[in-house]
Amino acid sequence: MSELGWWGVLIAVAGGAIRVSTPYLFVSLGETLTEKSGRVNLGLEGTLVMGAMSGYAVAYLTGSPWLGALVAGLAGALFGLLHAAVCNLPRVNDVAVGIALFLLGTGLAFYLGKPFIEPVAPRLPHLALGAWSGSPAVRAALEISPLFLVGLVLAPLLAWGLRHTRWGLVVRTVGDNADAARALGYSVERVRALATMAGGFLAGVGGSFLSLYYPGTWNEALSSGQGLMAIALVIFARWNPLACFWVSLLFGGATALGPALQSVGITTNYYLYNAAPYVLTLVLLVASSSTKHRLVGAPSELTISR
Amino acid sequence: METAAISAAALLAALVVFGGFAALRGLDPLEVYRVLYLGAFGTWFSVQETLTQAAPLMLTALCTALPARAGLLVIGGEGALVVGGVATVLAGVALAGAPAVLGVVLLCLAGAMAGGLWIAAAGALRHYRGVNETISTLLLNYVAIALMNHLVTGPIRDFAQVLKPASWSVGEQLRVGEIPGTSVHWGLALGVGACVLTWALMRCTTFGFSVDILGGNVRAAQMAGLPIGAMVLATCFLGGAAAGLAGAVEIVAVHGFASSSLAVGYGYAGILVAFLARQNPLAVVPVAIVLGGISASGGLLQRRFGLPDAATLVLQGLLFVAVLAGNTLYGRLRAFRKA
């Protein structure tokens, strides 16, 4: 890759953006749906790790990575159910429950996942969209996971669904004015539980991408706050699923910066570049927040945007 | 009374579920409980280990508990601890020739200062820009750890340390030892002292009273003309300073140098301690000892039953969920209702 010089860095960052962005995309889409119903689930980082572990374990035990991805989603939905069940009790703070599930999810994943650190599970296949190119760098950048394509379809689908369908309207009503939804005869608790479970499902699938595609192994240092950054990303994307897609790509690129620079021989300050995505998240969060007015697109019932 | 009863019930519920997990592995839950107790409080040796574990938890718990009194949910104890530890090492190198007692005090102040400014920055972002403090402090944890990794693998790396990348060590005269007659380091005294001082600050001063007004009702605090920005910054700074002090203690009393051993989850366990103590600084002390006991018994659980070291994390997570679910019970139990 070195003969490409700085072009190599650019291609590696672009390829990395596509490769690394998928977990961000799934978690942020899930969180968007949950937050549109008026709840915050800060525990998606734990759900992501739990999804990574359970997906890897099932793929290893059954030999089918796709079954692993499905089970990862179901584990995520289970965590969403737990979050919703505790939050549906009166006077329980959803942000605090999210932190608790973040700790429980990572702890449980490490506890149950200990036996699966050594074995090698089958990985999800990839589509070689760069087969036409003679350059190995371009070919590597265009190896695309089917899960990325699923996310690519899911983002506009979710945007359309929230805007134009009946259930989308119900979710938005519950998130913007719970009393109005109750007056219409909808159970606020049940809608929020379903939205949190669906969000957890997506986050769990996003986790299985980490363990079954890229980096493609299970260990305790697999996720380093991707789930958390994805939640911050939702605020920057103004609760818009299509914006989530573009911002996920941006974050993927930021995460890929350190390894890309390393590949052209710039290895000094490697750990400093590792801080890039977190600093970027903070900067975007500062830029998109304001004390003067409410954020555009924010569901009114949301505790973190008050 | 009500608080103690509900917290105890939460602990019991978490233990029951944890026993279920143990039973899934074919272990006898009662035997697991017995070993858990043995590892935490069973012998003088384990009690000392428990107290050693509890010391940093008291300080990191204040990082959540103090801002919580002003209505903020800060979970940046892990980052503030790491930053405090790194600052302590830097101060230790700068003050290499300082006399023993004065030097240690200066080092601890450096750690507390760094941790305080770290969390105060999140408080400032909250107050002046409306940035959600929960998300920003959680992100700052990762930034702090990345910064520390950068420093200990490059600029301040001590290449004589071969096991893992680590920083230079602080001088021998700048280290503190154990409380006489025990194997517990002086961090425990600092932790208890900080909790008592914070309690007095909240209980006996106008500042503490104002903070409770702010935490109870922002509008009321505005109407009363309280300096809200200054109070947000002050509680965040003091909370962060406590966690930074925990980092300083890790350096001067435990490790002597900065490395990834600083970020072992004291900050996250501190959040749980703060919630279990219902953000009351005095209640933090006993709760931290119970949680320290859980951490201390992890090793014994691992050796006796072959349970993964994450078993204590699972128990902590279960406890956290149970405590929050228990919040719903306040004021609804007949036994505690006033006639």
Q: What is the pLDDT of residues B25-82, one digit of tens each?
A: 889 999 999 999 999 999 999 999 999 999 999 999 999 999 999 999 999 999 999 9
Q: Give chain B positions within 8 Å (CB) of A100.
A: 272, 317, 320-321, 323-324
Q: Does A268 touch chain B (CB under 8 A)?
A: yes
Cβ A111–B21 below 8 Å, yes or no? yes
A305 pLDDT above the threshold of 60 = no
What does each C-alpha distance from B326 to A99, B278, B329 come to in angstroms?
A: 16, 11, 5
Q: What is the DSSP letter of A275?
A: T
pLDDT band at A1 (very low <50, low <70, confident <90, very high): very low
| Averaged pLDDT, A199-216 | 94
Q: Is pTM, for the whole model, over 0.90?
A: yes
Q: What is the DSSP annotation of B180-209? A: TTSS-BTHHHHHHHHHHHHHHHHHHSHHHH
Cβ A282–B143 below 8 Å, yes or no? yes
Nearest to A90 among B138, B307, B328 (CB): B328
Element (H, E) at B169: strand B166-169
| Averaged pLDDT, B281-304 | 93
Nearest to A225 among B142, B271, B317 (CB): B142
Pairwise CA distance, residues B84 & B108, whole Å? 9
pLDDT band at A4 (very low <50, low <70, confident <90, very high): low
Residue in chain A lying closest to B318 (CA): A104
Chain A / chain B CB contacts < 8 angstroms = 146
Give which of A111, A114, A118 to mutate to test B binding, by max B Cβ within 10 Å: A111
Give which of A28, A95, A102, A103 to mutate to test B binding, by max B Cβ within 10 Å: A103
A257 pLDDT above the threshold of 50 = yes
Pairwise CA distance, residues B152 & B169, whole Å? 11
Cβ A100–B153 below 8 Å, yes or no? no
CA angle A295, A300, A303 (to 5 degrees): 90
| Averaged pLDDT, B269-285 | 94
Structure ipTM: 0.91
Q: Give chain B positions within 8 Å (CB) of A97.
A: 321, 324
Cβ A224–B330 below 8 Å, yes or no? no
| Averaged pLDDT, B123-138 | 93
Q: Using an 8 Å Cβ cutoff, are A92 and B332 in contact?
A: no
Cβ A104–B318 below 8 Å, yes or no? yes
Pairwise CA distance, residues A47 & A264, whole Å? 35
pLDDT band at A259 (very low <50, low <70, confident <90, very high): confident
Q: What is the pLDDT of residues B192-214, one digit of tens each?
A: 999 999 999 999 999 999 999 99
User: What is the number of helices (H) and of strands (E) in chain B?
Assistant: 14, 2
Cβ A86–B324 below 8 Å, yes or no? yes
- How many angstroms separate the CA of residue B187 from the nearest CA in chain A? 25
Q: Who contacts B333 (Cβ-Cβ below 8 Å, separation ≥6)?
A: B2, B5, B6
The answer to whether the Cα torsion of A162, A165, A168, A169 is positive or negative is: positive
Element (H, E) at B213: helix B206-216
What does each C-alpha distance from B44 to A220, B39, B47 come to in angstroms?
A: 33, 10, 5
Q: What is the DSSP annotation of B82-139? A: HHHHHHHHHHHHHTTT--HHHHHHHHHHHHHHHHHHHHHHHHHIIIII---HHHHHHH
Q: What is the pLDDT of residues B73-98, one digit of tens each?
A: 999 999 999 999 999 999 999 988 88
Question: How many CB atoms neighbour CB A221 within 10 A?
Answer: 6
What interhelical angle do B311-326 and B2-24 show, nearest 10?
140
Residue in chain B lying closest to A229 (CA): B139
